[in-house]
Amino acid sequence: MYDLGPDLDAEVPPGTNILVSGPPLSGKRSLCLDILASGTEKGEGAIIVTTKDGADRVLRDFETRIAYEDRPVAVVDCVTRQQGVGDIRDDERIKYTSSPVDMTGIGIKLSEFLQAFYQDQGIQQNRVMLHSLSTLLMYADLQTVFRFLHVFTGRIQSVDGLGVFAIDASAHDDQTMNTLKQLFDGIVTTQEDGPPSVRLAGD
Protein backbone atom coordinates (compact mmCIF):
# COMPACT_ATOMS: atom_id res chain seq x y z
CA MET A 1 0.00 0.00 0.00
CA TYR A 2 1.01 3.62 -0.56
CA ASP A 3 0.51 6.04 2.31
CA LEU A 4 -0.53 9.43 0.90
CA GLY A 5 1.10 11.28 3.81
CA PRO A 6 -0.19 13.27 6.77
CA ASP A 7 -2.12 15.82 4.68
CA LEU A 8 -4.51 13.19 3.33
CA ASP A 9 -4.44 10.39 5.91
CA ALA A 10 -5.28 7.68 3.35
CA GLU A 11 -3.69 4.59 1.82
CA VAL A 12 -4.08 3.33 -1.73
CA PRO A 13 -3.03 0.05 -3.40
CA PRO A 14 -0.11 -0.20 -5.84
CA GLY A 15 -1.03 0.79 -9.40
CA THR A 16 -3.24 3.72 -8.31
CA ASN A 17 -3.45 6.98 -10.27
CA ILE A 18 -4.88 10.06 -8.54
CA LEU A 19 -6.03 13.38 -10.00
CA VAL A 20 -5.26 16.39 -7.80
CA SER A 21 -7.80 19.01 -8.83
CA GLY A 22 -8.43 22.54 -7.57
CA PRO A 23 -8.34 26.25 -8.36
CA PRO A 24 -5.08 28.24 -8.78
CA LEU A 25 -3.05 28.86 -5.61
CA SER A 26 -4.82 26.07 -3.70
CA GLY A 27 -1.62 24.09 -3.08
CA LYS A 28 -1.88 21.34 -5.73
CA ARG A 29 1.82 21.32 -6.61
CA SER A 30 2.87 21.52 -2.98
CA LEU A 31 0.57 18.64 -2.04
CA CYS A 32 1.91 16.47 -4.88
CA LEU A 33 5.50 17.16 -3.77
CA ASP A 34 4.52 16.25 -0.18
CA ILE A 35 3.04 12.93 -1.36
CA LEU A 36 6.27 12.10 -3.21
CA ALA A 37 8.50 13.20 -0.33
CA SER A 38 6.63 10.96 2.13
CA GLY A 39 7.55 8.02 -0.12
CA THR A 40 11.18 9.14 -0.54
CA GLU A 41 11.46 9.07 3.23
CA LYS A 42 10.64 5.34 3.10
CA GLY A 43 13.16 4.59 0.35
CA GLU A 44 10.68 4.68 -2.52
CA GLY A 45 11.50 6.14 -5.93
CA ALA A 46 10.20 9.58 -6.93
CA ILE A 47 9.86 10.86 -10.50
CA ILE A 48 8.61 14.41 -11.09
CA VAL A 49 7.40 15.33 -14.59
CA THR A 50 7.27 19.12 -14.76
CA THR A 51 5.61 21.11 -17.54
CA LYS A 52 5.68 24.45 -15.67
CA ASP A 53 8.95 24.87 -13.74
CA GLY A 54 12.52 23.91 -14.60
CA ALA A 55 14.16 20.94 -12.87
CA ASP A 56 16.39 23.15 -10.71
CA ARG A 57 13.44 24.89 -9.11
CA VAL A 58 11.53 21.62 -8.63
CA LEU A 59 14.50 19.99 -6.91
CA ARG A 60 15.04 23.05 -4.69
CA ASP A 61 11.41 22.83 -3.58
CA PHE A 62 11.70 19.08 -3.05
CA GLU A 63 14.83 19.56 -0.94
CA THR A 64 12.89 21.77 1.49
CA ARG A 65 10.86 18.62 2.27
CA ILE A 66 13.60 15.97 2.33
CA ALA A 67 17.33 15.65 1.58
CA TYR A 68 17.31 13.68 -1.67
CA GLU A 69 20.99 13.65 -2.68
CA ASP A 70 21.58 9.91 -2.21
CA ARG A 71 18.02 8.84 -2.93
CA PRO A 72 16.19 7.70 -6.08
CA VAL A 73 14.70 11.07 -7.07
CA ALA A 74 14.46 12.10 -10.73
CA VAL A 75 12.92 14.85 -12.89
CA VAL A 76 11.60 14.90 -16.45
CA ASP A 77 11.97 18.59 -17.36
CA CYS A 78 9.67 19.67 -20.23
CA VAL A 79 10.43 23.39 -19.83
CA THR A 80 14.14 24.28 -19.89
CA ARG A 81 14.98 23.27 -23.48
CA GLN A 82 11.99 25.20 -24.78
CA GLN A 83 13.43 28.32 -23.12
CA GLY A 84 16.60 27.88 -25.17
CA VAL A 85 18.94 27.69 -22.19
CA GLY A 86 22.46 26.75 -23.41
CA ASP A 87 23.71 23.20 -23.90
CA ILE A 88 21.55 20.90 -21.79
CA ARG A 89 22.17 17.17 -21.49
CA ASP A 90 20.41 14.38 -19.68
CA ASP A 91 22.07 12.93 -16.58
CA GLU A 92 21.17 10.33 -13.97
CA ARG A 93 18.79 12.69 -12.16
CA ILE A 94 17.33 14.93 -14.88
CA LYS A 95 16.11 14.13 -18.38
CA TYR A 96 14.87 16.83 -20.75
CA THR A 97 12.20 16.88 -23.46
CA SER A 98 11.99 19.56 -26.12
CA SER A 99 8.72 21.01 -24.76
CA PRO A 100 5.41 20.02 -23.10
CA VAL A 101 4.13 19.24 -26.63
CA ASP A 102 6.61 16.36 -26.90
CA MET A 103 4.36 13.81 -25.22
CA THR A 104 6.12 10.89 -26.89
CA GLY A 105 9.39 12.15 -25.41
CA ILE A 106 7.80 12.57 -21.96
CA GLY A 107 6.60 8.96 -22.06
CA ILE A 108 10.02 7.67 -23.14
CA LYS A 109 11.90 9.60 -20.41
CA LEU A 110 9.44 8.39 -17.77
CA SER A 111 9.92 4.80 -18.91
CA GLU A 112 13.71 5.19 -18.75
CA PHE A 113 13.55 6.36 -15.13
CA LEU A 114 11.04 3.66 -14.17
CA GLN A 115 13.30 1.03 -15.70
CA ALA A 116 16.32 2.45 -13.84
CA PHE A 117 14.48 2.41 -10.50
CA TYR A 118 12.15 -0.57 -10.75
CA GLN A 119 14.13 -3.03 -12.87
CA ASP A 120 17.79 -2.00 -12.52
CA GLN A 121 17.82 -0.89 -8.86
CA GLY A 122 15.02 -3.18 -7.66
CA ILE A 123 12.97 -0.37 -6.09
CA GLN A 124 9.52 -1.94 -5.87
CA GLN A 125 7.54 1.20 -5.00
CA ASN A 126 7.79 4.32 -7.11
CA ARG A 127 5.77 7.55 -7.03
CA VAL A 128 5.28 9.68 -10.15
CA MET A 129 3.99 13.26 -10.20
CA LEU A 130 2.92 15.25 -13.26
CA HIS A 131 2.48 19.00 -12.85
CA SER A 132 0.46 20.14 -14.67
CA LEU A 133 -2.13 18.62 -17.00
CA SER A 134 -3.45 22.13 -17.63
CA THR A 135 -0.20 22.99 -19.43
CA LEU A 136 -0.56 19.95 -21.71
CA LEU A 137 -4.14 21.02 -22.51
CA MET A 138 -2.88 24.47 -23.53
CA TYR A 139 -0.68 22.89 -26.19
CA ALA A 140 -2.77 19.94 -27.38
CA ASP A 141 -6.42 18.98 -27.79
CA LEU A 142 -8.30 16.86 -25.27
CA GLN A 143 -8.20 13.71 -27.40
CA THR A 144 -4.39 13.85 -27.72
CA VAL A 145 -3.91 14.47 -23.98
CA PHE A 146 -6.38 11.68 -23.14
CA ARG A 147 -4.48 9.19 -25.33
CA PHE A 148 -1.17 10.24 -23.79
CA LEU A 149 -2.53 9.91 -20.24
CA HIS A 150 -4.07 6.53 -21.01
CA VAL A 151 -0.59 5.21 -21.83
CA PHE A 152 1.11 7.17 -19.03
CA THR A 153 -1.26 5.96 -16.27
CA GLY A 154 -1.07 2.44 -17.68
CA ARG A 155 2.72 2.51 -17.40
CA ILE A 156 2.50 3.50 -13.73
CA GLN A 157 -0.07 0.77 -13.15
CA SER A 158 2.13 -1.86 -14.81
CA VAL A 159 5.00 -1.28 -12.33
CA ASP A 160 2.68 -1.07 -9.29
CA GLY A 161 3.50 2.62 -8.91
CA LEU A 162 1.53 5.58 -7.58
CA GLY A 163 0.70 8.46 -9.93
CA VAL A 164 -0.41 11.95 -8.85
CA PHE A 165 -1.49 14.41 -11.55
CA ALA A 166 -2.27 18.08 -10.90
CA ILE A 167 -4.86 20.04 -12.88
CA ASP A 168 -6.28 23.57 -12.54
CA ALA A 169 -9.98 22.67 -12.45
CA SER A 170 -11.15 26.24 -13.07
CA ALA A 171 -9.31 26.42 -16.42
CA HIS A 172 -11.32 23.62 -18.07
CA ASP A 173 -14.97 22.95 -18.84
CA ASP A 174 -16.99 20.12 -17.30
CA GLN A 175 -16.71 17.93 -20.38
CA THR A 176 -12.90 18.10 -20.28
CA MET A 177 -12.78 17.34 -16.56
CA ASN A 178 -15.28 14.47 -16.80
CA THR A 179 -13.40 12.93 -19.74
CA LEU A 180 -10.07 13.02 -17.88
CA LYS A 181 -11.52 11.77 -14.59
CA GLN A 182 -12.28 8.42 -16.26
CA LEU A 183 -8.54 7.65 -16.26
CA PHE A 184 -8.07 7.99 -12.50
CA ASP A 185 -8.75 5.78 -9.49
CA GLY A 186 -9.35 8.70 -7.16
CA ILE A 187 -9.60 12.47 -6.95
CA VAL A 188 -8.07 14.81 -4.39
CA THR A 189 -9.75 18.22 -4.36
CA THR A 190 -7.77 21.17 -3.03
CA GLN A 191 -9.35 24.40 -1.80
CA GLU A 192 -8.02 27.91 -1.24
CA ASP A 193 -9.13 27.72 2.39
CA GLY A 194 -9.45 24.43 4.18
CA PRO A 195 -7.87 20.99 3.92
CA PRO A 196 -7.93 18.86 0.75
CA SER A 197 -10.55 16.13 0.41
CA VAL A 198 -9.99 12.63 -1.00
CA ARG A 199 -12.45 10.54 -3.01
CA LEU A 200 -11.22 7.11 -4.06
CA ALA A 201 -12.88 4.63 -6.40
CA GLY A 202 -15.44 2.58 -4.49
CA ASP A 203 -15.91 5.21 -1.76
Give tens-digit pLDDT for 86-104: 778 999 999 999 999 999 9
User: What are the helix (H) ranges across 45-141?
Assistant: 55-63, 103-114, 133-139
The per-residue pLDDT of the chain, averaged, comes to 95
Q: Domain residues of the chain, as ranges?
A: 2-200
Q: Name the nearest CA neighbour of 42 among 72, 22, 83.
A: 72
Name the band, by pLDDT with cuts 50, 70 and 90, for residue 166. very high
Q: Which residues pair with 128 in a beta bridge?
A: 47, 163
DSSP state of 64: T
* pLDDT confidence of residue 7: 87
Give tens-digit pLDDT for 35-83: 999 999 999 999 999 999 999 999 999 999 999 999 999 999 999 998 8
Pairwise CA distance, residues 3 & 37, whole Å: 11
* pLDDT confidence of residue 203: 65
Question: What's the CATH number of domain 2-200, 3.30.450.20, 3.40.50.300, 3.40.50.11540, 3.30.830.10?
Answer: 3.40.50.300
pTM score, two decimals?
A: 0.97
Q: Which residues pair with 67 in a beta bridge?
A: none
